Amino acid sequence: MPAPAVNEGLRRRSGFPRTAGARIPSPAFPMNAPRFDSPDSPRPLSPQVEAQLTAALKAHSSKPSDDTAKRLQDAIVAAAQDARKQELRSEELVLVFKSIERASGIPVGDDKIAASRNKLIKALLDAYYLAQKSE
C-alpha cells in the first residue's frame, strides 16, 4: 500500500474530507486586517490654495523661469501650511498634490518630469515639516 500524501494525512487529522480535490475552507477572518487609517480619498486643500498650486504647476511646466519657480515655491509653502491647518497627514498631502497634478493636465510619463515631480514632492514635504516646527 502506497504511503499517503502529506496533505492527505493532514486532512484526516484535521477532520476535513479525504476526497480528491477537496477544498480547505478559508478562515472566516481576513489574513490582513483592513487599514482604516489609510485615506481612500484624502480631504482637499482649500479652494484658493488648490487654485494657486494648479496655476503655478501649469505655468512652470509650460514655460519654466525664475518667476514661475518662485510662484511654484510660494504655492508649495501655501499648500503645506494649509495642510497643517486642516490637520492633513503628510501622506494625504502627497496624494492631494498628485491628484492636483493629474487634474492640471501635466504629462507625467517622461523621466525628466518624474524627477521634477520627485523634487516638488520633496519640497512639499520639507515645507510641511518646517510648518510644523514653526507652530
> Structural domain of residue 112, as residue ranges?
47-134
71 assigned to some structural domain: yes
Closest C-alpha among 46, 45, 67 to residue 56: 67
Residues 16 and 13: their CA atoms lie apart, in Å, by 8
Per-residue model confidence as pLDDT tens digits over 118-133: 999 999 999 999 877 6
117 assigned to some structural domain: yes
106 assigned to some structural domain: yes
8 assigned to some structural domain: no
Closest C-alpha among 74, 69, 66, 87 to residue 48: 74
Please give the grid coordinates belonging to residue 64.
519654466
33 assigned to some structural domain: no
Look at the block and give the residue holding cell 504511503: 3
91 assigned to some structural domain: yes
Per-residue model confidence as pLDDT tens digits over 32-44: 544 444 445 668 8
pTM of the model: 0.66
17 assigned to some structural domain: no
Other Cβ atoms less than 10 A from the Cβ of 45: the count is 25
With a cut of 50, list the residues of the chain below it in pLDDT. Answer: 11, 33-39
Give me the number of domains the chain comprises: 1
